[in-house]
Structures are given as structure tokens and as C-alpha cells.
Amino acid sequence: MRVRDLPGWVPQPGGARSTGERVPRPNEVFIERVLQVFNDNLIFTCRFVDNFSGKPEGRSVFYSFPVLEKETLPKIAEIINQNVGKTLLSIGDIEIPSD
């Protein structure tokens, strides 16, 4: 199974946004880090670089991704941690290790 085969992948960003602020697409956000695993959710951040505004520093965007199978959760956290700097979209092709 690949990451993209997980139910609900690619997750949508969460958190508050300013009025008129654009919702980033998965190919516009670059993985920053996993913040925590909470219950059945993986909480992580990505850096959004808005190509339209030309702001190279971007802004952090929070994600909460529910993983239905508890044994898969640490594997997804590890995949995200190993792919810091890559786009969220790009990790969809990564194979999830089996036990």
C-alpha cells in the first residue's frame, strides 16, 4: 500500500485563515515537521510558498490527518519526517512498510 491509498489522503490544511487567503494545494506545500501523534491523528506542518504572491518565505500550514489503523500511524509519521522539504503531494507514491 502507498501513502496515496490511505483514506483521506491528501489531507486538507486546517487552522484559521485571513479573509481572502488562498487555500494551498498539495503541490505548493513543503513538509516541515511532525508535531505530534494524538489519538488517531497525525499533526504536522508544511511551509506554503504562494507562487502567485512571490513570497519565498511562505507561511506554516497545519495539518491533522486521521489514520484509521493504529499500527500505520507511526509509519506515516516516519515517512513525513524522512521527507522534510518535499511537497506533500510527492510522498503519495511512497510505499508504506509492512510489518
Q: In the structure grid, which three cell numbers stand for residue 38, read together?
A: 494524538
- Summarize pLDDT for 25-66 with one digit per residue, the tens: 888 889 999 999 888 899 999 988 766 655 545 778 899 999
Q: Where are the domains of the chain?
A: 3-13+23-93
> CB atoms < 10 A from the CB of 62, how many?
14
How many residues comprise the chain?
A: 99
- Summarize pLDDT for 73-97 with one digit per residue, the tens: 999 999 999 999 999 999 999 999 9
pLDDT of residue 20 exceeding 70: no
Q: Are residues 43 and 62 in contact, defined by beta-carbon separation less than 8 angstroms?
A: yes
Q: In the structure grid, which three cell numbers stand for residue 8, read together?
A: 483521506
DSSP 86: S
Q: Is the peptide bond before 10 cis (omega within 30 degrees of 0)?
A: yes
pTM: 0.83
* Per-residue confidence band for 17, with pLDDT thresholds at 50, 70 and 90: low
Q: In the structure grid, which three cell numbers stand for residue 82, read together?
A: 524522512
